Amino acid sequence: MTKRKYINTMISSFAMLVSSMLVASEASAEFVAQSDDRPPSPSRLIFPDTQEGYHVLAGDLHLHTVFSDGSAWPTLRLAEAAHDGLKFVSFTEHDIITPKIRDTGTNKNRSYEIGRAFIDSGMLGLKGMRLSLGAEITRGIGHFNCHFLKDANALNPAKIHYSTFKQTGTQHQVDWNRTGPVEKDLEARFREAKRQGGICQWNHPTFPSSIPGDAVVTPFLERMFKEGLLSGIEVAQSDFIHPAAMDVALKYNLYIAATTDAHLGTTMEQEAAGMDHRVTTLFLTRGDDESAFKDALEKRRTVGLFRDTFFGTKENVGAVINSVLKMSFTKYSPSEMLIGNMGEMEIKNSGPIDIELEILQPGFRLLNYPRFVKVAHGSKITLKALQIDGPNFKGIKVRVINSLVTSHDQLEFFLQAQPFDLNAITGKGTLGGIPADLDGWM
């Protein structure tokens, strides 16, 4: 090959490489960009603002990468989150579990450092993603995530690193009933996190547990709640839900979290569990920077989302449901022939999750549905009802079937109708489109 041909071949190869990189970059950016045009859906968890002016932003408070026992690089975790519509993630590497120590070393800040640099680079449209440095304090008595840290390594001053959870269990014996060495060590770790400005939560509280399946609050944990060293609790994580944790959260005024606890690919784990959306925590925030997410945790403005079910306090769940559901009074037919006053109401769901309702309004007689209705995400339904007092119609009382505001109670609230002009929607009596004048029709 001549020198000229060699140079031309190299130039051509380089051009092809650049072209392929640009195509891949554009495809990747389209896949994860937070400014994409996909409508809200289970695969893109975007919510409208609440009536009170809060943003409803999805986030994940429990994620692992290769720097503890996860299989993904930090940048992939960010790409996954952006694709799913999330605006916030916290990398929570196990403090003392480091299976890949030969490859990753022991720096528990490293996943955050890589993620932070990736976001700041502006690649893949991730500028809008917010990131927290977290850590999962891992002991035989339980696991606890801390967020918004400055140095995760300081939570492991003894520099202990195990390759398996079995080693952790044998080294830290559980003492469920009274303060022992493990609890004293945990308290020191929580105080260090708080000194750094962090905020901590109790992970998957029904395991490990002295009573399998129950979130047992020991005297030690109760004291941690009351002293503000533990501020939150996971009610759902991975493909598990811990209903008892709802009551613990309400009793001790803890923020409520739902997390992926991802170790493999989030989509892979989601599909394996038969879920149509990512497990996520919804933050009700006043802004969109890291401090706004921390403020939502501190003020207990979170809602968990797990298998199409919203859970949290009545106020928080109600705010989210009211943000996505809108009801309009669209037609009023007074003195409808044979059946009396009839009205039609349109309920629209602008959120990414289907909402299942039970109509509880006294005297509200539906013609076209049983009392149970489902409003699919991004769609609307029309209710036809009898005995409607048009001039005084305000809305209807409903129960949200796919919600929890305690371990066993669902949200009940008044779905208020949007302002309407009664004269504009009032029509002549026509039963199902039959003309008012029947002469010659039949």
Q: Which residue range forms the structural domain that includes residue 271?
A: 34-307
| 303 & 371 share domain | no
The answer to whether residue 17 sits within a structural domain is: no
> Do 287 and 359 fall within a single domain?
no
User: Is 168 a domain residue?
Assistant: yes
In a domain, 442, yes or no: no
- pLDDT digits over 44-74, tens only? 999 999 999 999 999 999 999 999 999 999 9
Per-residue confidence (pLDDT) for residue 169, from 0 to 100: 65
Residues 349 and 275 in one domain: no
Give me the amino acid identity at 140. G
Are residues 247 and 328 located together in one domain of the fold?
A: no
Q: Taking all residues of the chain, what is their mean pLDDT, rounded to a whole number? A: 88
Same domain, 379 and 276: no
DSSP one-letter string for 24-36: HHHHHHHHH-TT-
Q: Is the four-CA dihedral 47, 53, 57, 61 of positive or negative sign? A: negative
Q: What's the CATH code of the domain at 362?
A: 2.60.40
Q: In this structure, are 85 and 184 located in the same domain?
A: yes
- Between CA 195 and CA 13 the distance in angstroms is 55
Bridge partners of residue 325, in order along the sequence: 349
CA 357 – CA 370 distance, rounded (Å): 11
Residues 199-217 have a mean pLDDT of 90
What is the rounded CA–CA span in Å between residue 311 and residue 314? Answer: 9
Q: Mean pLDDT lowest for which of 27-41, 257-271, 405-419?
A: 27-41
3-state DSSP call for residue 136? strand
221 and 358 share one domain: no
The mean per-residue pLDDT over the stretch 18-37 comes to 49
Q: What is the pTM of this model?
A: 0.89
The residues, ordered by sequence, that sit 6+ positions from 440 with a Cβ below 8 Å of its Cβ are none
Task: Look at residues 307, 335, 355 and tell me which one is the last residue of a structural domain.
Answer: 307
Helix (H) or strand (E) run with residue 413 in it: strand 411-416
The answer on 48 and 156 residing in a single domain is yes
Find the CATH number of the domain harbouring 59. 3.20.20.140
List CB contacts of 71: < 8 A, sequence separation 6 or more: 263, 264, 265
Cβ–Cβ < 8 Å for 303, 54:
no
pLDDT confidence of residue 20: 41
What's the token pair of residue 331?
């037609």
Q: Same domain, yes or no, for 277 and 365? A: no
Domain annotation covers residue 315? no
Q: Assign 176 a pLDDT band (cuts: 50, 70, 90).
A: low
Looking at the structure, tell me whether residues 282 and 374 fall in a common domain: no
Which tens digit of pLDDT belongs to each residue from 108-164?
999 999 999 999 998 888 889 999 999 999 988 899 999 999 999 999 999 999 988
pLDDT at 60: 98
Same domain membership, residue 334 and residue 196: no
Do residue 114 and residue 243 come from a single domain? yes
DSSP 124: G
Identify whether 123 is part of a domain: yes
The answer to whether residue 441 sits within a structural domain is no
Model pLDDT for residues 94-108, shown as the tens digit of each residue:
999 999 999 999 999
Whether 317 is covered by a domain: the verdict is: no
Measure the CA–CA gap between 424 and 197, rounded to whole angstroms: 57
Question: Which of 241, 276, 307 is a domain's end point?
Answer: 307
Query: Residue 167 is which amino acid?
Result: Q
Backbone angles phi, psi at 89, to 5 degrees: -140, 155
Query: In the 8-state DSSP scheme, what is residue 262?
Result: B
User: Over the range 364-377, which residues count as b (16 or more CB within 10 Å of their CB) and which as e?
Assistant: bebeeeeeebebeb
pLDDT of residue 10: 45
Domain closes at, from 307, 339, 354: 307
| Strand 403-404 relative to strand 309-311, pairing | parallel
Give how many domains the chain has, as a whole number: 2
